[in-house]
Amino acid sequence: MNFLEIHSLSKAFDGLHAVENLHFTVKKNTITGLIGPNGAGKTTAFNLITHFLPKDSGKVVYAGENLKKLPAYKVVQRGMARTFQQIRLWPNLTVRENLLLACSREYDSWWKSFTHTNEAHQDTQIDEMLDKVNLRKYKNHLASDLSYGQSKLIEIARTILTDAELILLDEPASGINPTLLRTVEDLIFELKKQGKTILVIEHNMPFLMGISDEVVVMENGRFLMQDKPEKVQSDPRVLEAYLGG
């Protein structure tokens, strides 16, 4: 079953067609990779899918619902969460506080997440998550104390804590060391085991091809192909897209 369907999605910035007539599908409970050379439009596609940016035209169907012009925060409430290519943690909040803000989705206002009633339950969730990413000892450190790789892990952890059904990761492996990379891989596989659906942009091909059930390739804002990793890797059009770039 298709959990996400992208139909004829387009977005131009001052005449530059960043995403043009893009279409692809993501099946439920799979890991789908999204690749393409620098500037192919991958991050813009994420921004359009999550309604972080308004599309010029096209359709995003998520869990059978045409999202039309639903505001971004309501898209999150529907169960779609994403990370950003540029890390977006609150540097002056602690790691715990950054994660606490993610846990608050089920409550009617985020400031309530700081009240004592919810804190015990949420702290348990946060501790479990910090154990998974081996960062429990940083719980009460400021986010600004974390290394780049650690910050990326916390950002992924924050996305997971929203309890989203569809998780979009924008370059989770970029700039992180092999040990942290294995932690990212473990997290993604665990999410899949829990029944979640993952769409991941990545330039690290061995990593991406190793985790993906299917891979979508973009070139110049457009759809190039979608297939199993082994088919994509050996397709001359993909090689050409990268070498041509």
Ligand X SMILES: Nc1ncnc2c1ncn2[C@@H]1O[C@H](COP(=O)(O)OP(=O)(O)OP(=O)(O)O)[C@@H](O)[C@H]1O
Q: Which residues bind ligand X (CB under 6 A)?
A: 13, 16, 18, 36, 38-44, 85
**How many of the other CB atoms lie within 10 Å of CB of 34?**
26
Query: Which string of x and - marks every residue 77-96 that binds Mg ion (by CB under 5 A)?
Result: --------x-----------
| Chain center to CA of 78 | 15
Residue 36 contacts which entry, ligand X, Mg ion, none (Cβ below 5-8 A, type-dependent): ligand X
Q: Does 44 bind Mg ion (CB under 5 A)?
A: no
Q: Which is nearer to ligand X, 44 or 197 (CB)?
A: 44
Q: Does 151 bind Mg ion (CB under 5 A)?
A: no
HEC per residue, the chain: CEEEEEEEEEEEECCEEEEEEEEEEEECCCEEEEECCCCCCHHHHHHHHCCCCCCCEEEEEECCEECCCCCHHHHHHCCEEECCCCCCCCCCCEHHHHHHHHHHHHCCCHHHHHCHHHHHHHHHHHHHHHHHCCCHHHCCCEHHHCCHHHHHHHHHHHHHHCCCCEEEEECCCCCCCHHHHHHHHHHHHHHHHCCCEEEEECCCHHHHHHHCCEEEEEECCEEEEEECHHHHHCCHHHHHHHHHC
Please identify the residue of the shown chain whose CB is closest to the bound Mg ion.
43
Interface size with Mg ion, residues (CB under 5 A):
3
- Cβ of residue 16: shortest distance to ligand X, in angstroms? 6
Q: Which is nearer to ligand X, 38 or 109 (CB)?
A: 38
Pick the stretch among 36-44, 147-155, 157-165, 207-215 that binds Mg ion (CB under 5 A). 36-44
Pick from 91, 88, 83, 84: which is nearest to 143 by CA? 91
Largest interatomic CA distance in the chain: 58
Pick the stretch among 10-18, 24-32, 37-45, 226-234 that binds Mg ion (CB under 5 A). 37-45
Q: Which is nearer to ligand X, 12 or 63 (CB)?
A: 12
- Cβ of residue 42: shortest distance to Mg ion, in angstroms? 5
- Cβ of residue 224: shortest distance to ligand X, in angstroms? 12
Q: Does 113 bind Mg ion (CB under 5 A)?
A: no
> Can you read off the two tokens belonging to residue 196?
């979640």
Residue 239 contacts which entry, ligand X, Mg ion, none (Cβ below 5-8 A, type-dependent): none
- Cβ of residue 86: shortest distance to Mg ion, in angstroms? 9
Residue 41 contacts which entry, Mg ion, ligand X, none (Cβ below 5-8 A, type-dependent): ligand X
Judged by CB under 5 A, which of 32, 43, 47, 151 binds Mg ion?
43
Residues that bind Mg ion (CB under 5 A): 42-43, 85
